Structure 1
Amino acid sequence: MVMNGANELHRLFEAWARETPDRPAVVTRRAQLTYEVLDVRANRLARHLLNTGFDAGETVAVCISRLPDLLVAVVGVLKAGGAYTVIGPQQPTGDIGRLLERAGANTVLTYEQFRPSVDDGTGRLVVCLDTDAGLIDAHSPEPPSAPCGATAAVLFTAGTTGEARPFAAGHQRLRAAYGSWAEVFGLSPSDVHLVTAPTDTAAFTYGWIRALCSGGTLVLPEGEARPALRGLPFAGDVTVLDTDPVTAGSLLEGSVPVGLRLVAVGGERLALDEQVRLQGRLAPGARLLNVYGPVEVAGCGTWFETHQLSGPVHEPGRFCLLGRPFPGSRAEVRKGEIWLTPPGGLDGGEALPTGDAGTLREDGLLEFGGRLAHRVTVRGRTVDPHRAEAALATHPQIRESVITAVDENRLVAYVVPKALSARPGADTIRTHLTGVVPDQEIPASVVTVRALPRNRAGKIDRAVLPLPAQRAASGGVSGKGGGAEPGPEGLLYGTGCAMLVVALPLAAFLTDVFWPGSTDLTYVPAPWSWLFGGLYAAELLAFSVGLAFLFAGRPLMRRQGRSSGLTTAAHLAVVWLLVSWWPQDNFYRLAAKTDWERQAALVYVFNVPLMIAAVVVAVYVTRRPDPSATE
């Protein structure tokens, strides 16, 4: 599908390049580009891409570390009629290759130093902005005339509930989202935008669109995990701060620019009490917005600021309010799950599930209720940790917390204390939660951490939370604590040992019952009889270990954090790899070599499933842990 030129996203930028060519467009600590220079450089790059046989709608990966070269590449791809995807070159080579494949990128814009990471010998076109600079600069500075595909960008989800997934964001949807942002944010060409999101996140795309499509100046903190306003160009002139909750708290603790009129906080949830606190750091009249929306709706779902409240809220730390839909969007709750309809357009209009629980309050505001994928199963019951996490947010000693399961019997709270000298223990947390949430939702253990791990999008990464220390006994989860009982690992170990003790002599006895004579070594001379005797003993031992693993292995495997389905498949595969040797070899020893019917049956009953089981185990070992799985 080819877009109408009037609907292409980059046309908004081009209009400002013609109207305000000398205005700073992109500014970093080391470089600055005006709208005219950015436009001309992007035109030449677009012409260079088209000269290589580039087709409309093709996806180009931008694998660049330096700014503002990255913006030149992004706008250049759009002008050439393609779709861009940003992939950070700092990642391991294997991860870069997987992302390139998922995005469907056959062309890569990068530097010569990163060529080995992106050129895998499959014929992918690699254009290096440094070594190919002479060829690129030789092209005309005039904008190319090229058809444009419907997709503008291939964005990746944050990956908080599994592997990051690609999503094709169309020109129509991004332009509609920009119109909604411009209306709510009150964007103007005089704005100076500070965008702190990493360049390979969807939040960065939304940030540069809001800045450059409105004629504003985009300020980027280059290569800083936690940027500081001090020393940034235009720091004192920043009017719009586009960031995540953690960075917002860090930046607003210091000297806040007098002209800062808007703070847009997206990504991770922002509790109401924190929003009120940050709002108090701003000048009178300045706004702080909690922006909510997954990648699939171009990050344009709902927005909330405190003046939308009709009155005071008791214990604001327990609530995360998502507010009202952006203009042109809709928000609804279906069976407890939030569904969003993106802003109108050719590829909009269809409600999409967010994977988040929520409620619609009487005042018309949408309230966040936690991620559905973060629910876990403990002692056979489904537990939603959001309620207990929200309750812990009101504890005077706790800055933030996460609750998850480390096995099928125990919940653990990961707590960041406000002061390391005052670390709340399990009894303190149990007392705080008793009567507030059901007993089965109260964590049995507490792990104190300095900070919760976060991914590049600023969201909490539950997959890399540290496992708690092993314990010999596990207390109850009731408000009174309960008595000591054997820990789950101890019970599983005991069960496995018991099965091993029973299964080994039983298998030896049943061998002569089911396959009489299969292990007879009377006429086999030494030392071969000893070798075969050792083989038979090993088969019996493998069968016994496999039977023990059948009863005790799966809960231990679940601790590795893989998905429930893959864990079950791998568990049964390991059991089959262990137990099948005993019956298989006994059948084979009694089958005639020319009994083709029995030989074929044995191959397909035993050998082929063994191969399948090995493949399943290989997938389990190489698959990354799933944060949504019960650990």
Structure 2
Amino acid sequence: LGRGDVAAVHAERGPALVTAVLATLRTGAAFALLDRAHPRERRRLIAEALGARAWLETGADAPQTLGTTPEVARVVTAPGAGPAPRPAPAAEVPAHPADTAYVAFTSGTTGTPKGVVGAHGPLAHFADWYTATFDVTAGDRFALSSGLSHDPLLRDLFVPLVLGARLHIPGAGDLATPEAYGAWLRRERITVLHLTPPTVRFLSGLGDGCLPDLRYAFLGGDVLGGRETAVLRRLAPDVRLVGFYGATETPQAPAWHPVGETAPDESVPLGRGIDGTQLLVLRGTTPAAAGELGEIVVRSPYLADGYLDGDPQGRFAVDPAGRPGVRLYRTGDLGRHRTDGTVVFAGRADRQVKVRGHRVDPAGVEHVLRAHPAVTDAVVTAVRDATGETLLAAWAVTGRPVTGEELRAHLAERLPAA
């Protein structure tokens, strides 16, 4: 491997995941994480889009190359084992800020995952800003709990490594129930946690004060409200809450907001840009007045490079002011500027929704549903269940009798659970 290559990391939660990522970066190559829990067909489509030169297995199961990769390596870490004899490692290739570091995949309108290409510079800038802004140290204990193919995982991974802090990795069983997850966080004495508002609601039944060691909770991936902040303050009396806002195209979070007291029915503002980044609200190309609805646009030199398959929707644009290296990213989110300069979220300009913190395009689910031989047409929309969680509901027109179970199985073979 070398600069310009991509390694597919077949990810399972464990120390080997960290080893695979760092080993790949040492060669100058980029990595892409594929979650072993995702459907095989989705992983095959991603591997095909990547054209990966290497396939790194981090799990205990048999390698699953999906017939796309010429070279397979298994990455193994055995806790407590001494170093095995090995040849001298190849020299580390220094990374330039503009070099590609990773490729992350997100939902697309056709049901095919959309690859976002990220460079070292924005990732390093975020880690520098984070460690300079918050009083996190090498003595902190971070949790690697984000989704394995979800780009916030890079925040979980690189911030503690930059600090020299401890990175604690839960097993699948530790995340299975609220009680198991809460017990793991308490047992490992986690002090810094990145999580989504749906995860907070998942933990809401735990007892008061059950997370006494938690110092910081950074929340992103969905709208954050007063009910979630109240839950966290009840579980962790000494916690400081910070809201993060961003997308896969704006690594890792271009905006933040320190969370104060929030009424139960009130949403927390998205905040303002981190160093070097601005959160704009535009009507077309014109800045919206305070309180006026517009599209949220991120102006920054620290955006992702773009998409693997181009940018037909024109999400990325050059900076009208012509500042070198600065670009715009049109998020598709709607918002308003408050008089204090912070931005509040006001919905979407398109049909995209967040399901359990994951970005989902209902049009992509429709596309996959219509590919079933019995389905002649379909529509998918977001609904809320009795607890307020966002779910997807589908209606299908069929040319022959078909059960809901058969359609669910068809979708489950091709799309992630969210």
Which residue of the partner structure matches residue 330 of structure 2? 353
Does residue 86 of the first structure (1) align with residue 40 of the second (2)?
Answer: no
Q: Is the 8 A contact 2:296 2:330 kept in 1?
A: yes
Structural mapping, 1:136-215, within 5 Å: 137-140=84-87, 144-148=91-95, 150-157=99-106, 163-215=112-164
How many Å apart are 1:147 and its aligned residue? Answer: 4.9
1:413/1:352 CA distance change after superposition, 3 Å: closer
How many Å apart are 1:145 and its aligned residue? Answer: 3.2
Does residue 97 of the first structure (1) align with residue 77 of the second (2)?
Answer: no
Which residue of the partner structure matches residue 24 of structure 1? none
Aligned-partner residue type, residue 80 of structure 1: T
Q: What do residues 253-283 of structure 1 show as CA deviations (whole Å, max 9, x unaligned)? A: 3343222111011112212443345335432
Whole-Å Cα distance in 1 between the matches of residues 347 and 304 of structure 2?
A: 31
Whole-Å Cα distance in 2 between the matches of residues 168 and 340 of structure 1?
A: 17
1:234/1:280 CA distance change after superposition, 3 Å: closer
Q: Is the 8 A contact 1:340 1:352 kept in 2?
A: yes
Whole-Å Cα distance in 1 between the matches of residues 380 and 116 of structure 2?
A: 34
Which residue of the partner structure matches residue 18 of structure 1? none
Structural mapping, 1:226-265, within 5 Å: 226=177, 228-232=180-184, 235=187, 237-251=189-203, 253-254=206-207, 255-265=209-219
Cα RMSD (Å) of the superposition? Answer: 4.0
Aligned-partner residue type, residue 373 of structure 1: D
Whole-Å Cα distance in 1 between the matches of residues 117 and 281 of structure 2?
A: 25
Q: Is the 8 A contact 2:9 2:55 kept in 1?
A: yes
Which residue of the partner structure matches residue 328 of structure 1? 276
Other structure's SS at 2:20 match: helix
Other structure's SS at 2:11 match: coil
Whole-Å Cα distance in 2 between the matches of residues 125 and 288 of structure 1?
A: 44
Other structure's SS at 1:341 match: strand
Q: Is the 8 A contact 2:12 2:59 kept in 1?
A: no
Aligned-partner residue type, residue 45 of structure 2: R
1:346/1:100 CA distance change after superposition, 3 Å: closer
Other structure's SS at 1:256 match: coil
Whole-Å Cα distance in 2 between the matches of residues 415 and 346 of structure 1?
A: 32
Q: What do residues 62-119 of structure 1 show as CA deviations (whole Å, max 9, x unaligned)? A: 1132511111111111112111111022333322211112233121011697666315
Aligned length: 343
1:235/1:141 CA distance change after superposition, 3 Å: farther
Aligned-partner residue type, residue 321 of structure 1: P
Higher mean C-alpha displacement, 336-345 vs 228-237: 228-237
Aligned-partner residue type, residue 275 of structure 2: P
Q: Is the 8 A contact 1:177 1:343 kept in 2?
A: no
- Higher strand proportion (structure 1 or 2): 2
Whole-Å Cα distance in 1 between the matches of residues 62 and 380 of structure 2?
A: 46
Which residue of the partner structure matches residue 282 of structure 1? 236
Whole-Å Cα distance in 2 between the matches of residues 297 and 185 of structure 1?
A: 20
Whole-Å Cα distance in 1 between the matches of residues 301 and 226 of structure 2?
A: 26
Which residue of the partner structure matches residue 346 of structure 2? 369
Aligned-partner residue type, residue 282 of structure 2: R
1:164/1:289 CA distance change after superposition, 3 Å: farther
Match of 1:293 among 220, 223, 246: 246
1:259/1:243 CA distance change after superposition, 3 Å: same
1:233/1:333 CA distance change after superposition, 3 Å: closer
Whole-Å Cα distance in 1 between the matches of residues 131 and 296 of structure 2?
A: 24
Whole-Å Cα distance in 2 between the matches of residues 240 and 111 of structure 1?
A: 25
1:359/1:56 CA distance change after superposition, 3 Å: same
Does residue 126 of the first structure (1) align with residue 103 of the second (2)?
Answer: no
Which residue of the partner structure matches residue 385 of structure 2? 416
Whole-Å Cα distance in 1 between the matches of residues 279 and 252 of structure 2?
A: 13
Match of 1:271 among 225, 228, 231: 225
Q: What do residues 502-561 of structure 1 show as CA deviations (whole Å, max 9, x unaligned)? A: xxxxxxxxxxxxxxxxxxxxxxxxxxxxxxxxxxxxxxxxxxxxxxx9xxxxxxxxxx9x
Q: Is the 8 A contact 2:7 2:56 kept in 1?
A: yes
Structural mapping, 1:337-486, within 5 Å: 337-342=295-300, 344=302, 349-374=326-351, 414-418=383-387, 452=389, 460=390, 462=392, 465-467=393-395
How many Å apart are 1:251 and its aligned residue? Answer: 3.5
User: Which of the two has higher C-alpha Rg?
Assistant: 1
Whole-Å Cα distance in 2 between the matches of residues 63 and 112 of structure 1?
A: 8
TM-score (norm 1): 0.48
1:123/1:194 CA distance change after superposition, 3 Å: closer
Whole-Å Cα distance in 2 between the matches of residues 292 and 359 of structure 1?
A: 14
Whole-Å Cα distance in 2 between the matches of residues 201 and 298 of structure 1?
A: 12
How many Å apart are 1:334 and its aligned residue? Answer: 1.1
Which residue of the partner structure matches residue 80 of structure 2? none
Aligned-partner residue type, residue 293 of structure 1: G
How many Å apart are 1:218 and its aligned residue? Answer: 1.1
Which residue of the partner structure matches residue 286 of structure 2? none
Gap regions ≥5 residues in structure 1: 1-53, 376-384, 387-403, 419-450, 453-459, 469-488, 490-548, 550-559, 561-620, 626-631
Whole-Å Cα distance in 2 between the matches of residues 306 and 97 of structure 1?
A: 41
Q: Is the 8 A contact 1:236 1:258 kept in 2?
A: no
Whole-Å Cα distance in 1 between the matches of residues 74 and 213 of structure 2?
A: 40
Other structure's SS at 1:304 match: strand
Other structure's SS at 2:17 match: helix
How many Å apart are 1:241 and its aligned residue? Answer: 1.2
1:60/1:338 CA distance change after superposition, 3 Å: same
Other structure's SS at 1:175 match: helix
Q: What do residues 112-153 of structure 1 show as CA deviations (whole Å, max 9, x unaligned)? A: 976663151x5521112369xxxx954346673335470111
How many Å apart are 1:220 and its aligned residue? Answer: 1.8
Other structure's SS at 2:118 match: strand
Whole-Å Cα distance in 2 between the matches of residues 187 and 279 of structure 1?
A: 19
**Identity of counterpart residues, as a percentage?**
25
Q: What do residues 302-344 of structure 1 show as CA deviations (whole Å, max 9, x unaligned)? A: 112333x8xx76xx52534211212222100112111113465
Q: Is the 8 A contact 2:384 2:391 kept in 1?
A: no
Aligned-partner residue type, residue 184 of structure 2: L
Q: What do residues 284-313 of structure 1 show as CA deviations (whole Å, max 9, x unaligned)? A: 4x3111211001111212112333x8xx76
Whole-Å Cα distance in 1 between the matches of residues 203 and 34 of structure 2?
A: 26
Whole-Å Cα distance in 1 between the matches of residues 90 and 230 of structure 2?
A: 47
Whole-Å Cα distance in 2 between the matches of residues 104 and 233 of structure 1?
A: 38
Greater relative contact order, per chain length (Cα 8 Å cut-off, separation 6+):
2
Q: Is the 8 A contact 1:156 1:166 kept in 2?
A: yes
Other structure's SS at 1:351 match: strand
- Higher helix proportion (structure 1 or 2): 1
Whole-Å Cα distance in 2 between the matches of residues 292 and 265 of structure 1?
A: 8
Aligned-partner residue type, residue 370 of structure 1: G
Which residue of the partner structure matches residue 222 of structure 1? 171
Aligned-partner residue type, residue 256 of structure 1: C
